[in-house]
Amino acid sequence: KYLAGKSWNKLISNKGTLVLDVRKPFEFKVGSFKNAINPNVKHFRDFPKYLKQIKKTKPVAMFCTGGIRCEKISSYMIKKGFKNVNQLHGGILNYLEKIPEKNSLWDGECFVFDNRVSVKNELKDGTFQLCHACRAPLSKTQIKSKKYLKGLSCPKCYGKISEAKKKSLIDRNKQISIAKRKGLYSPFIKQTVSDL
């Protein structure tokens, strides 16, 4: 079943419901629904092993960013005999857009795969930034770390970046700086030398 709004909130507030965040662990750490569990799997092929420990009669409420990953996993669960599989209609993004913050059961921010990095209720820009070395989302606290060097490293990858990668990142930062000075920089536009 697809649920949204009050129906979703009611289901995930029920203590007997398994609230399953099917996103990757790093996304879960940025934010999730209260009482949600992340199976800590990196690939879809790892889900069957995790699902063996769940009773097939237990109500399951699953969600992901936009609903695509849930489609895949819920189909598999139904095929394997799970009786009460529910998913968040339109995913987290739809929920955050439509549910007022005062009624929201979302805790934290939602990682997104674009230059915003994360969003909050009403799809307002979040506070996370992306480490350009390891691609990890970084909180305000991590950005304040001495191991955070904008565009070069963060507490997660500090000291683990190869010299070749560092050189490439330094060159990237120089090019961004030049583009900004010339008024040509936009994180959404990809330009090549032949465009100029």
List the catalytic residue out of 64, 110, 131, 154: 64
Alpha helices in 116-191 (DSSP H): 140-143, 163-181
Please, what is the end-to-end C-alpha distance for the chain in angstroms? 51
| Residue 154 falls in the annotated catalytic set | no
Angstrom distance (rounded) from CA 182 to CA 186: 11
Angstrom distance (rounded) from CA 33 to CA 161: 34
Q: What type of residue sits at position 163?
A: E
Angstrom distance (rounded) from CA 135 to CA 129: 9
Is residue 77 within 8 Å of 85, Cβ to Cβ? yes
Catalytic residue IDs: 64
